[in-house]
Amino acid sequence: MPQLKNLEELQQLCDEIKQAERVRRETSTVITIGMGTCGIAAGARETLQAIEEELNQRQIDALVVTAGCIGVCVREPLVDIQQAGQSRIVYANVHPAMVPRLIEEHVVKGQPVKEWVVGRMPSDEPALSLCR
Amino acid sequence: MDQVADSPAIALSGSVTVCGGARCTSARCQRVLRAFEVELTRRALGRNVRLSPSPCRGFCTAGPIAIVHPPGVLYCRVQPEDVPEIVDQTLIQGKVVQRLCYDEPEAHRSLVSYQDMPLFSKQVRIALRNCGLIDPERIEEYIARDGYAALGKVLGEMSPEDVIREMKASGLRGRGGAGFSAGAKWEFCRRAPGDLKYVVCNADEGDPGAFMDRSILESDPHSVIEGMAIAAYAIGASQGYIYCREEYPLAIDRLEMAIHQARDLGLLGEDICGTGFRFDIEVKEGAGAFVCGEETALIASIEGRRGEPRPRPPYPVVAGLWGLPTNINNVKSYAMTPQIILRGANWFGSIGTQKSPGTAVFALTGKVNNTGLIEVPMGIPLGDIIFDVGGGVPHGKKFKAVQTGGPLGGCLPAAALNTPVDFDSLAEAGAVMGSGGMIVLDDDTCMVEFSRYFLTFAAAESCGKCVPCRVGGQRLLEALTRISEGHGTRKDLQIIKDVSTHMMSSSLCGLGQRTPGPVLAALRFFEDEFITHIDEKLCRAGQCRALVRARCVNTCPANVDTPAYLALVAQGRYAEGLAIHRRRNPFALVCGRACPAFCESKCRRGEIDEPVAIRLVKRFMADHEFEKPWTPEPIGSEAERAAAAEKKIAVVGAGPAGLTAALRLAQRGYQVTVFEKYPVAGGMMAWAIPEYRLPRGPLLAEIENVRRAGADIRCNMALGHDFSLDDLLGRQGYSAVLLAIGAHRSRRLGVAGDDKQGVIDGVEFLSRVAGEATMRAAGLPADAPLPDVRGKRVAVVGGGDVAIDVARSSLRMGAREVHVIYRRAGDDMPAAHLPEEIEAARQEGIRFHTLVNPAEVLGNGAVSGVRLQQQRLAEFDDSARRRPVPLGADSYVLNVEVLIPAIGQVPDVSWLHGTEIARHRGDTFIVDEAYATTRPGVFAAGDAVTGPATIVEAVAQGNLVAAAIDHWLKTGQLVKPHLEAEREDVPQVYDLAAYADHHRPATPRLPVEQRDGNFREVEAGFDEHAAQEEARRCLRCDLEWLDVMKLPRPGIGDR
């Protein structure tokens, strides 16, 4: 991206990016993996690899995003799956062996794997709803 | 499907993708694609709209999926018939066809929302607003969430003075822990003379257990960059430094990446966004010295010097980096700044408390369920953080204390759980907010060892520049080490206090000044623990290695040599194991069935998988030897026993305390007579514990052992009725009397109607039920009728062992319904120390009503029901549990015909009139260290002293009071009794590693259907193989202890 020449460009960039991010999320499956030190220590890199492999194998084009630490360190690796910009369903302690089932049941069939779910972040601005 | 060809001169105005992944065999997708092709051609949009199949994006059960740009909408379950509408409404008119939009399935919406989980619902995330939600390596995602909008606002609409005014108005206090007003600091720095100024971010975060700053830097580095830029603008700086410890490589990487991305966009560097403002940041890596978290030492480090503090004033805001005005703030303070600017000071001030507005970020670690990072409004009660957000203490352990402020902070006990967490309230309570580390401790933590851990750290981190810290830290550490190793004296406590005073008043910087913090706080709230370590060389928590041979022995009230008998069982040497057990606890058969097994709660194996099933192994060992009668060995020399034989001792009460004392005294040669009120001896073992928990055969056999030692047990003899205390000590010539009369008198319910017919006292109920079994086993006719509950609805009030025993007995006696009423939450029930009991009760069909309290007993003469007042949990009490308080006027009536209060017992002292024996308010006897009451020659032990407790605790007291009486009779001195710490070092004969993957077997139990209407023993024991295998899961902590103490391990041939 080129350098911003003035504050209006900053505002414009913000609006454009917001729109693009919104569209990205609303038209895809987005899989987010926590990759803070806690996540990595718990095996998030291996989980990420397993997710990419599984998506590859099934030729599913989902958006795989790495994030930082949301603060539930004890349940890492955390993976959340969001489809069409709706709720982010958060899974805890996700190890590579769990990935095929997550992709098959949640991503493809739309059925969350209840026993692995920590919770659900509703709406597309989840943190703001946590930030009164 | 081929793209519709288009001429390069015409720009595409839209696109439609229809899912058509190679794996997707759905023919419907093909038809939809074709339908679009047709419609686009028909509407002459073929050249303007790119149509293509897209790879699968998931959603397969909601397919076919069509994604239309603009506006960028995803349609589900698209049929060919829908296509014209889509093209017309969305592509041409720009409207969304709602009915085709993705509707979140019920399966998703029914999942628990973060808003409804206390872990999140009590949080307010300002500093952590983006953490875990965005990709920290993409600046776009930060900008999409209003990133750099605050900087834009500041540069475009605010003057530096405006910014400072806003920050001051917000009341933000430095989140590094000192709590100084950030706005005021920025103002000082702005006003300081000079043109060259610096902004520094303290990201050293040296506290062990603190990782808030690291997490923010790893997850949302731009928030800190933006905050620093705003601060730089306000104070007039153009260069910033982030001092980040090099032990945080990921944080440093992401920071560097973020800085580069910001520079690329022109948000850092020269002429930011054309406003003329310039600011850039450099990351300086720390080298791991804790003292560099102190601002003047940090400055020295950036300057390339050794990290050592210097006296202040002058403060860094006036003379900091290279002697120039420098603003230093913590990561979290900068991270919150953009939000304060965007939403305003009033918004920030509306969160938290008046003097501590906003939120605080904590790293919650230690013995807590939800370990991790949280952000809560200031002023939230400490207990809410630990129990609601943190999810409480795991594994059913009890909360002991919480350490705040890291190695320079202090701890707070359960009594402080209602303290609001903010700078001033914590300071008033004697604790420190610090940067935000919060370590929760349970009763497995030893406060001596814990404070020593922090002291070791702080002393090692002393830079050495000033004497109070350099030398004082060492002296403190030496004193604490002596105490934890069993060589401490009372003088060491004085040394600690004196040295601490000097360090606090004369150290050059906060490190030395606050190093004594943890140990002083521990002494303040847990001094008895230090004294126990010093006087008794005892570490109750089981942590101080030198004092704790093995946690099981250490925590057993009677200090039974558990590792020894487990090791012997592992080898099949049951008789020897039993003999060792009996040296401290003669009731192996009984305890193998009815002990709460404190040993198991501390078993180190439990930290790996499950604790060793010590009680069941013990039960097997004792059961195996059941047929062999035991004649207890003599204690002491022949001469001693001959002298003792001339003295008579009376024991009143044949419960576990009285019987054990009688046994030990008889073993020492005394003439012991036990006077028992009931027709058969045993105390609560015989007259309260039901048969399905404790069959009478084993009990009577173990009582017989006491007789075989020479004690004369006389039943049907009640104190105050058949004989008096004066009589015993006077005419009958007893040299000493032991009152081991237990606590058999029930507390009354204390509500209207509690004397109606149908209200049966809990202990009275059990005495008849258990008593019937005991009389039957002793071959005697029952002396009291069984309570009449057949076909009736029964409610038991209480949550302890008595309540559960009453409930399960009632069921077996044919009650139609059995309810247990408890005023707190289920997890708080005292009977929860025997989780299998509550589980069994539920399995058997007993209904638990929690958070209700009886308000009134209803009925006309006879009980017809009980009104139960709903409770809610309010603030914490000293037991770290929330106090139940009535919930408005909400109540309901439980219809029952029998109401059984089982809410605690006290000793029956109705016979006491006139005698000079002092009691506590609850009627338990006041005794000194030698178990002597206020009447000469009269001692007391067991539940009569402690209040209702357990068999093993009564046995332990029996051992001790016997030693005390013995000493008194020989020397005339009343001293605290001390039992020789005998230990057996049994060699290890098998490979421990072979048992690494062995798990504890399930407790063998009678199936629920077979328990109906009878009192058959519910728990079966292990068989021989299972017992041996289980005994081999023991980690042999006792052998490790020998190594620690540099003692030789036993060889195979030794024993």
Helices (H), strands (E): how many in chain B?
39, 27
Q: How far is A131 from chain B (nearest CA, A)?
A: 5
| Residue B476 per-residue DSSP state | H
Which has the higher per-residue pLDDT, B88 or B916? B88
Residue contact A68–B74, C-beta within 8 A: no
Residue contact B351–A1, C-beta within 8 A: no
Residue A4 has its nearest CB partner, among B73, B266, B375, at B266
- Cα pseudo-dihedral B801, B804, B809, B812, rounded to 10: -150
Res B834: pLDDT: 77
Residue contact A19–B123, C-beta within 8 A: no
Residue contact A14–B143, C-beta within 8 A: yes
- Cα pseudo-dihedral B718, B723, B724, B726, rounded to 10: -150
Q: What is the pLDDT of residues B557-616, one digit of tens each?
A: 999 999 999 999 999 999 999 999 999 999 999 999 999 999 999 999 998 999 999 999
Res B250: pLDDT: 96
Res B284: pLDDT: 97
Q: What is the pLDDT of residues B1024-1036, one digit of tens each?
A: 999 999 999 999 9
Report the predicted TM-score, pTM, of the whole model to 2 decimal places.
Answer: 0.89
Residue A74 has its nearest CB partner, among B124, B215, B370, at B370
Res B295: pLDDT: 94
Q: Band of the pLDDT at B10, cuts 50, 70, 90? A: very low
Q: What is the pLDDT of residues B299-327, one digit of tens each?
A: 999 999 999 999 989 999 999 999 999 99
Q: Band of the pLDDT at B24, cuts 50, 70, 90? A: low
Which residues neighbour B910 within 8 Å (Cβ) at sequence distance 6 or greater? B720
Residue A89 has its nearest CB partner, among B111, B129, B370, at B111
Mutate to test the interface with A, among B15, B74, B220, B224 (most CBs of A within 10 A): B74
Nearest chain A residue to B390, by CA:
A72
Beta-strand pair B671-675/B648-652: parallel
**What value does the mean pLDDT take over residues B842-867?**
94
Between the alpha carbon of residue A59 and those of residues A103, B73, B629, B831, B877, the distances in Å are: 11, 22, 76, 56, 58
Residue contact A108–B58, C-beta within 8 A: yes
> Is-cis flag, bond preceding B70, omega within 30?
yes
Residue contact A69–B373, C-beta within 8 A: yes
Res B888: pLDDT: 85
Res B21: pLDDT: 62
Q: Band of the pLDDT at A132, cuts 50, 70, 90? A: very low
Residue contact B125–A127, C-beta within 8 A: yes
Q: How far is A96 from chain B (nearest CA, A)?
A: 19
B17 membership: H or E segment, kind and range: strand B14-19
Instruction: List residues bridging with B759 in a β-sheet.
Output: B899
Instruction: List residues bridging with B239 in a β-sheet.
Output: B198, B280
- Phi and psi angles of residue B433, each rounded to the nearest 5 degrees, phi first: -70, -50
Query: Is residue B80 over pLDDT 80?
Result: yes
Residue B131 has its nearest CB partner, among A70, A75, A110, at A70
Q: What is the pLDDT of residues B109-159, one digit of tens each?
A: 889 888 888 898 899 999 999 999 999 999 999 999 999 999 999 999 999
The rounded percent of chain B whose pLDDT value lies above 90 is 80
Residue contact A127–B145, C-beta within 8 A: yes
Q: What is the pLDDT of residues B797-838, one digit of tens each?
A: 999 989 999 999 999 999 999 999 999 988 888 888 777 889
Query: Is residue B396 over pLDDT 90?
Result: no
Residues of B in contact with A110 (CB under 8 A): 59, 61-62, 105, 107-108
Residue B274 has its nearest CB partner, among A6, A40, A66, at A6
Query: Is residue B7 over pLDDT 60?
Result: no
Q: What is the pLDDT of residues B985-1006, one digit of tens each?
A: 999 999 999 999 999 999 999 9
Residues of B in contact with A79 (CB under 8 A): none
Which has the higher per-residue pLDDT, B53 or B1? B53
Cα separation of A113 and B113, whole Å? 15
Cα separation of B897 and B646, whole Å? 57
Residue contact B133–A26, C-beta within 8 A: no
Q: How far is A43 from chain B (nearest CA, A)?
A: 15
Res A125: pLDDT: 54
Nearest chain B residue to A128, by CA:
B129
Residue contact A60–B369, C-beta within 8 A: no
**What value does the mean pLDDT take over residues A32-51?**
96
The rounded percent of chain B whose pLDDT value lies above 70 is 98
Nearest chain A residue to B247, by CA:
A37
Res B1: pLDDT: 37
**What value does the mean pLDDT take over residues A79-107?**
94
Residue A129 has its nearest CB partner, among B23, B115, B126, at B115
* Contact in structure between B494 and B482 (CB atoms under 8 Å): no
- Phi and psi angles of residue B327, each rounded to the nearest 5 degrees, phi first: -100, 120
Q: How far is B260 from chain A (nearest CA, A)?
A: 12
Residues of B in contact with A131 (CB under 8 A): 124-126, 129, 339
B346 membership: H or E segment, kind and range: helix B345-349
Least confident of A30-39, B13-22, B677-686, B812-821: B13-22
CA gyration radius, chain A: 16
CB atoms within 10 A of CB B826: 15
Residue contact A14–B156, C-beta within 8 A: no
Query: Is residue B288 over pLDDT 50?
Result: yes
The b-or-e profile of B572-597 (16+ CB within 10 A means b, else e) is: ebbebbbbbbbbbbbbbbbbbbbbbb
Res B181: pLDDT: 96
Helix runs in B794-917, H state only: 801-812, 835-843
Which residues neighbour B919 within 8 Å (Cβ) at sequence distance 6 or greater? B909, B912, B925, B926
Cα separation of A121 and A129, whole Å? 9
Res B914: pLDDT: 63
Mean pLDDT of chain B: 92
Res B382: pLDDT: 96
Residue A72 has its nearest CB partner, among B105, B218, B370, at B370
Nearest chain A residue to B55, by CA:
A61
Half-sphere exposure of B441 (CA within 13 A, CB side): 23
Query: Is residue B257 over pLDDT 70?
Result: yes
Res B222: pLDDT: 98
Residue A73 has its nearest CB partner, among B133, B371, B375, at B371
Nearest chain B residue to A17, by CA:
B144
Residue B218 has its nearest CB partner, among A9, A21, A68, at A68
CA B456 to chain centre: 25
Which has the higher per-residue pLDDT, B890 or B341? B341
Nearest chain B residue to A33, by CA:
B132
Least confident of A12-16, B224-228, B836-840: B836-840
Res B681: pLDDT: 97
Residue contact B215–A27, C-beta within 8 A: no
Residues of A in contact with B111 (CB under 8 A): 87, 89, 112, 114, 117, 119-120
Q: What is the pLDDT of residues B691-750, one digit of tens each?
A: 999 999 999 999 999 999 999 999 999 998 899 999 999 999 999 999 999 988 888 888
Query: Is residue B1046 over pLDDT 90?
Result: yes
Helices (H), strands (E): how many in chain A?
5, 5
Q: What is the pLDDT of residues B416-471, one digit of tens each?
A: 999 999 999 999 998 989 888 999 999 999 999 999 999 999 999 999 999 999 99
Read off the tokens for B99.
């009915």
Res B404: pLDDT: 93
Which residues neighbour B980 within 8 Å (Cβ) at sequence distance 6 or greater? none
Residue B16: burial class (beta carbons within 10 Å; 0-12, 13-18, 19+):
buried
Residues of B in contact with A101 (CB under 8 A): none
Residue A21 has its nearest CB partner, among B58, B144, B369, at B144
Q: How far is A100 from chain B (nearest CA, A)?
A: 13
Mutate to test the interface with A, among B18, B69, B101, B215 (most CBs of A within 10 A): B215
